[in-house]
Amino acid sequence: QGDHDLNCLNIDDLEKLAYTRMDKMTRDYYNEGADSGSTLLENLKAYEKYRIRPRVLRDVSIIVTTTTIFGHKNAVPIGVAPTAMQRLAHSDGELATARACKKKGIAMGLSSFATTSLEDVAKECDGVVPNVLQLYLFEERAHSKKLIARAKKAGFKAVFLTVDTPYLGRRNAEIKNQFKLPSHFKIENFACEEDDEEQGADGGNPRTDNLPANTSAKRKAKKGSKAGYTDGESRVLPTGPITFHTHAANPTLSWEKDIEWLKQECCPEMEVWVKGIATAEDAILALHHQVRGIVVSNHGGRQLNGALATLDALPEVVEAIQGKIPVHVDGGIRHGTDVFKALALGADFVWVGRPALWGLAYKGQEGVELMLKLLSEEFRLCMALAGVTKVQDIAKEYLVKIDKSGF
């Protein structure tokens, strides 16, 4: 029967257990998608459109689930995706996630908007876990420059530039709840740059509407605060405290202007990847601009509602990339068989977002370890029952897509 937490035998159990351990504001912030939430739902449902074609009589007594990422061995082709403000789920926040990842040999993505500094997370992983810094490239380059230099120094292997947030998606529960980071937490990666007077102890401004970041900055500037300055045209850049709601969105980002700059800043210590690719056209541009890898993502359905499920976007991206750089995917992965299906459709690796937050809410580090254990065991069993002994052998012939009626 093995070693089980009988209350929590799969990620669905974990989600339910976590539900009761989070306050409404946190639960809504973590779980919701943009607008009606249909893309969030489709990310999950897309996995049900595929069935596995198992092969038999193949001696599956030895299964190797390991893979490599940024030159490191990873226990399974699964990483913990960067999600903001993890101390909302558990007081140890990102440190608990880092400890769990280290123990399980799993890559960790750290959000720019973490509630723990990147140095503290790197120290916890102690060079064992290849860390990725998720980057929101700010309009005020000086802040981003500093953050990149610190990540290099701390030994991060890569940056994932998030490219699906020129504006923040509309998340209605967040607005209704007037979501903000409680005053005892800080957005630690920028805490040293805070303007004490404006930031106070509160890392996150309440989100009172869904205006683009620079529009709300304009509003602040109008009020006569020191929050904004014009750059010669009509644009106003936010200069107050760095918060998720004022700084995550940057509508000016472009391939030509920003990717080359970022590569120069990160080179040679850190690889530059783009996170948030959803089409073959952009995959080809990513190749053209020589990024080192891409993550097919729609931000867990939190940005453009109505966008394609990530599993449905994956095949065209894989086809466009032709194996030239790694293709990862995230969104809706809740079972080891989902990992198998994503890899069969051509992904090299998958990332999970919300399940890690649920693990944190359930039992801190232990809960994240449990989440990783469940997914890893399910993935291993799936490989064995499908007749595959090596991750590299998982391929298209193991899947069939069923039609809309379910047959």
Those residues with Cβ within 8 angstroms of residue 110's Cβ, 6 or more apart along the chain or in another chain = 82, 94, 118, 121, 131, 132, 133, 134, 156
Chain position carrying tokens 């007037």 = 178
Out of 143, 299, 328, 335, the active site residue is 299
Q: What is the DSSP letter of 82?
A: P
Please report how close the Cβ of residue 353 comes to ligand FNR at its closest, in angstroms.
2
Which single residue brings its beta carbon nearest to ligand FNR? Answer: 353
Task: Give residue for tokens 């960790």.
Answer: 108
Q: Using alpha carbons only, how large is the chain's radius of gyration in Å?
A: 21
Which helix (H) or strand (E) segment holds residue 172: the answer is helix 172-176
Q: Which residues bind ligand FNR (CB under 6 A)?
A: 29-30, 43, 81-84, 111, 113, 134, 162, 275, 297, 299-300, 302, 330-333, 352-354
Query: What's the min distance (Å) between Cβ of 351 and ligand FNR?
Result: 6
- Choose between 221 and 249: whose C-beta lies nearer to ligand FNR: 249
Quick one: 271 or 388, whose CB is closer to ligand FNR? Answer: 271
Rounded to 5 degrees, φ, ψ at 124 are -65, -35
- Residue 100 in marked binding region: no
Taking alpha carbons only, the member of 360, 295, 303 closest to residue 333 is 295
Phi-psi region of 193 (alpha: psi -120 to 50; beta: other; left: phi over 0): alpha
What is the nearest approach in angstroms of ligand FNR to the Cβ of residue 114?
Answer: 8
Q: Which residue has the tokens 């280290």?
A: 102
Residues 243 and 201: beta-carbon distance below 8 Å = no
| Residue 299 designated active-site | yes
Q: Is 299 annotated among the ligand-binding residues?
A: yes
CB of 41 to ligand FNR, least distance (A): 10
**In Å, how far from its chain's centre is CA 83?**
6
* H or E element in which residue 271 lies: strand 271-277
Q: Is 264 annotated as a binding residue?
A: no
User: Any known ligand binding at 297?
Assistant: yes
Residue 112 beta carbon to ligand FNR: minimum distance, rounded to whole angstroms: 6
Residue (167 or 389) nearer to ligand FNR, CB: 167
For ligand FNR, the closer CB: 171 or 363: 171
User: Would you say 350 and 296 are in contact if contact means Cβ atoms under 8 Å apart?
Assistant: no
The reply, when asked if residue 376 is annotated as ligand binding, is: no
State whether residue 347 is helix, strand or coil: coil
- Kindly give, in sequence order, each residue whose CB lies less than 8 Å from that of residue 281, ignoring residues fewer than 6 positions away: 320
Q: How far is the CB of 390 from ligand FNR (least distance, A)?
A: 25
Task: Check whether 150 is labelled as a binding-site residue.
Answer: no
82/238 with CB nearer ligand FNR:
82
The response to whether 136 counts as a known ligand-binding position is yes
Question: Is 310 annotated as a binding-site member?
Answer: no
274: left (phi over 0), alpha (psi -120 to 50) or beta: beta
Q: Which is nearer to ligand FNR, 157 or 354 (CB)?
A: 354
Phi and psi, residue 102, nearest 5°: -60, -45
Tokens of 320: 């466009």
CA–CA gap between residue 292 and residue 37 (Å, rounded): 31
Residues annotated catalytic, as ranges: 299
Annotated binding-site residue numbers for FMN: 82-84, 111, 134, 162, 275, 297, 330-334, 353-354
